[in-house]
């Protein structure tokens, strides 16, 4: 099969171009924003706050969406799914970026927490916490040591369990076709590692990690919907990323067993989870709007009635209305151009979503979308393209000995 | 409400794997398949029979939009014009509070509308009868009815079905539409 997939020159050019643009932006940030100067939380005027907020938003967002690929593999493995086998190498390739982005994200988080950037996370300042009843109550959870240890453990486990699942798949290429018994054993091994991954994913992305990394920007505020909301955001963008790479590889003449039917199913995930995201978005908003308790409404006050109003509603249009109306028809889910367009729209929309989770808490009224944000995003996209490209060009693109491959080849919706 | 009485050659198959090639052969030979009755939904049979894609989802979308509009216009009229109430100091036009009901009505309209449309298209309703080509089509037989015209040589069609693997073949004159009657009380068929 495809042992010799060469990345096209334009892909390499784009990768290098995006990374160069990103690095120049980063350099500009270091020079212009003085990121290592100290500023008070919410002072807003300090450019260093913007620098760290943008890095936080981007690193967390891109890390979560590449990790969503491994979640997809885990879930379909546990469900004994067969249809995704023909395209399984694509989410594997995307999830192989987790260690790289994990380290970048961890370094950024550590610099913020230990570098005393209490303009981003105000709970890291001991004096503030001592004089603040709410933060004092959350001290057992929201403190630098717990934050660092838990982040490190989480990123390590994501990498470790993901690596296990990837290597099981890659080993099967070398061992040759499996008979019934070996196939059964191999599937059971996959189920074991996938279930461990899913359990830890639920404990991290499904609950604690968004509390620590994102919700603690507004440390006084809390919402029990927040983690699910973040998960829905990252999963739907993760599926869009998988769709983009499938379309790219199909256009290169690769992935011979992947048909419109598979793309149709990926499109269904994008459609369904856009609705799921909107459901969570609305549930979180309506409960707080209805109860109207000042300590909860503070979060939405600045977003709905303040300077972030446009972004807030743009978010809803990009992430719910557009995918809902565009992907409703069967034919649009099978159309390469429309799927590519919608996938880019969804990823951009959820990037905006993460932006409006972070910025109002750190920059207060002064946040606005500027080229700096896009430049940093280009850096992360470049890194993802670089690592995914490296994986795709060094491994066969079909898991040819997977016991369920036949089921995937004849997949029909 | 009769659709007219027509002549059919009916072939019964006891295996899905035989039915598929048979459907293809019959179509290739140019015979007109009236319908294939199966005990359970057979994946891909609609495709093999060359049936067009259903439009019921378009109908569903329109019903859904109708539900959304009904909910929003009704609630906004009631709460802003007809009987404005002060509920917890919220504005009279309290859109977030209305979304759940709008959603429910959208789903209700779409679901009920699609079920009724489906029943109408399949001519299913209480007190309505249709001809059964073979009662075992509801149990374990795949029943294919081929419509005959004046020029059809039914002996030839029967032989053709025999070759294609049908277990049981007969010729029936049957009403194609529906008529008023009850399956549980009346055994009489329309043509009788």
Residue extents of the structural domains in chain A? 21-409
Q: How far is A42 from chain B (nearest CA, A)?
A: 30
| Contact between chains at A282 and B99 (C-beta distance less than 8 A) | yes
Residue pLDDT, tens place only, A201-251: 999 999 999 999 999 999 999 898 999 999 999 999 999 999 999 999 999
In a shared domain, residues B116 and B34:
no
pLDDT tier for residue A161 given thresholds of 50, 70 and 90: very high
- B46: domain CATH number is 3.30.70
pLDDT value of position A44? 47
Q: Which of A289, A293, A305, A326 to mutate to test the interface with B (most CBs of B within 10 A)?
A: A289
Q: Establish if B93 touches chain A: CB-CB under 8 angstroms.
A: no
Neighbours of A400 (CB within 10 A): 15
Cα B74 to Cα B25: distance, rounded to the nearest angstrom? 56
Helix axes A47-78, A226-251, angle to 10 degrees: 70
For residue A34, the model assigns a pLDDT of 79
CB contact under 8 A, A328 and B97: no
pLDDT attached to residue B119: 93
Domain boundary among the residues B121, B137, B167 is at B121
Tell me, yes or no, whether B153 and B116 share the same domain: no
* B100 inside domain: yes
B116 and B133 assigned to the same domain:
no
What's the total number of domains in chain B? 2
Cross-chain Cβ contact B44/A290 below 8 Å? no
Same domain for B116 and B145, yes or no, is no
Is B33 near chain A, with CB under 8 Å? Answer: no
Q: Are residues B27 and B69 in the same domain?
A: no
Q: For residue B123, what pLDDT is reported?
A: 86
- Rounded to an integer, the average pLDDT of A56-69 is 95
The answer to whether residue B135 scores a pLDDT higher than 70 is yes
Q: Which residue's entry shows tokens 């919907």?
A: A225
**B39 and B94 part of one domain:** no
Give me the sign of the Cα torsion angle A70, A72, A73, A79: positive
The ipTM is: 0.80
What is the least distance, in Å, from the CA of A286 to any CA of chain B? 6
Mean pLDDT of B66-79: 96
Same domain, B104 and B150: no
Q: How confident is the model at residue A367 (pLDDT cuts 50, 70, 90)?
A: confident
Over 50: is that where the pLDDT of A67 sits? yes
B79-93: b or e for each residue (b if 16 or more CB lie within 10 Å)? beeeeeeeeeeeeee
Answer with the one of B121, B138, B169 that is the final residue of a domain.
Answer: B121
User: What number of other Cβ atoms are within 10 A of residue A267's Cβ?
Assistant: 27
Asked if B191 contacts B174 with a C-beta cutoff of 8 angstroms, the reply is: yes
> Residues B35, B73: one domain?
no
Q: In Å, how far from its chain's centre is CA B123? A: 7
pLDDT tens figures, A300-344? 999 999 889 999 999 999 999 999 999 999 899 999 999 999 999
pLDDT value of position A338: 96
Instruction: Report pLDDT for B178.
Output: 85
Q: What sign does the CA torsion over A119, A122, A124, A126 have?
A: positive
Residue B96 is nearest to which of A289, A328, A412, comparing CB atoms? Answer: A289
Q: pTM for the complete prediction?
A: 0.89
- Residue percentage of chain A with pLDDT more than 90: 70
Structural domain including B115 reads 56-121
Do B117 and B70 share a structural domain?
Answer: yes
Is residue B143 a part of any domain in this protein?
Answer: yes
Does the pLDDT of residue B93 top 50, yes or no? yes
Same domain, B48 and B81: no
pLDDT at residue A13 tops 50: yes
Q: Please check whether residue B187 lies inside any domain of the structure.
A: no
Region A155-177 average pLDDT: 93
Per the DSSP assignment, residues forming a β-bridge with B129 are B179
């Amino acid at each position: 099969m495809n042992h010799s997939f060469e990345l096209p020159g334009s892909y390499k050019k784009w990768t290098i171009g995006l990374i160069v643009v990103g690095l120049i932006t980063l350099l500009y940030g270091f020079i212009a924003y003085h990121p290592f100067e100290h500023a008070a939380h919410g002072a807003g005027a300090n450019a260093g706050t913007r620098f760290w907020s943008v890095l936080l938003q981007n690193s967390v967002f891109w890390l979560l969406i590449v990790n969503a690929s491994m979640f997809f593999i885990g879930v379909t493995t546990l469900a004994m799914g067969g249809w995704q086998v023909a395209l399984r190498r694509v989410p594997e390739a995307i999830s192989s970026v987790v260690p790289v982005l994990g380290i970048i994200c961890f370094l950024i988080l550590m610099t913020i927490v230990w570098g005393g950037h209490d303009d981003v996370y105000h709970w890291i300042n001991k004096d503030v916490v001592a004089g603040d009843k709410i933060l004092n109550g959350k001290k057992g959870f929201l403190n630098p040591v717990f934050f660092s240890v838990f982040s490190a453990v989480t990123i390590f486990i994501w990498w470790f369990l993901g690596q296990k699942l990837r290597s099981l798949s890659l080993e099967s290429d070398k061992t040759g076709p499996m008979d019934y018994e070996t196939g059964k054993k191999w599937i059971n091994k996959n189920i074991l590692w996938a279930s461990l991954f899913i359990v830890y994913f639920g404990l991290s992305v499904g609950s604690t990690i968004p509390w620590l990394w994102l919700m603690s920007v507004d440390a006084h505020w809390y919402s029990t919907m927040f983690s699910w909301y973040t998960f829905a955001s990252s999963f739907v963008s993760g599926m869009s990323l998988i769709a983009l790479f499938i379309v790219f590889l199909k256009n290169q003449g690769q992935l011979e067993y992947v048909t419109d039917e598979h793309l149709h199913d990926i499109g269904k995930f994008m459609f369904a989870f856009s609705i799921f995201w909107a459901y969570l978005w609305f549930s979180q908003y309506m409960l707080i709007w209805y109860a109207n308790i000042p300590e909860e409404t503070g979060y939405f006050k600045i977003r709905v009635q303040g300077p972030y109003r446009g972004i807030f509603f743009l978010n809803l249009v990009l992430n719910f209305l557009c995918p809902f109306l565009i992907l409703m028809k069967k034919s649009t889910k099978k159309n390469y151009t429309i799927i590519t367009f919608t996938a880019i729209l969804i990823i951009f929309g959820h990037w905006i979503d993460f932006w409006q989770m972070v910025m109002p808490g750190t920059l207060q009224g002064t946040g606005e979308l500027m080229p700096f944000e896009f430049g940093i995003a280009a850096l992360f996209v470049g890194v993802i393209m670089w690592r995914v490209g490296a994986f795709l060009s060094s491994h066969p693109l079909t898991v040819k000995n997977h016991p369920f491959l036949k089921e995937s080849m004849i997949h029909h919706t | 409400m009769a659709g007219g009485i027509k002549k059919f050659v009916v072939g019964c198959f006891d295996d899905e794997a035989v039915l598929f090639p048979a459907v293809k052969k019959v179509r290739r030979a140019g015979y007109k398949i009236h319908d294939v009755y199966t005990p359970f939904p057979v994946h891909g049979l609609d495709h093999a029979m060359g049936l067009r894609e259903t439009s019921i989802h378009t109908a569903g979308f329109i019903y859904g939009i109708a539900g959304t509009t009904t909910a929003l216009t009704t609630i906004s009229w009631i709460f802003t014009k007809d009987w404005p109430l002060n509920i917890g100091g919220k504005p009279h036009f309290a859109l977030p509070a209305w979304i759940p009901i709008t959603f429910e009505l959208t789903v209700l309209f779409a679901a009920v509308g699609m079920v009724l449309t489906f029943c109408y298209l399949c001519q299913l309703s209480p007190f309505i009868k249709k001809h059964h080509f073979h009662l075992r089509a509801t149990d374990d037989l795949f029943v294919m009815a081929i419509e005959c015209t004046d020029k059809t040589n039914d002996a030839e069609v029967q032989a053709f079905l025999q070759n294609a693997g049908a277990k049981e073949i007969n010729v029936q004159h049957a009403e194609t539409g529906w008529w008023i009657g009850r399956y549980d009380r009346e055994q009489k068929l329309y043509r009788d």
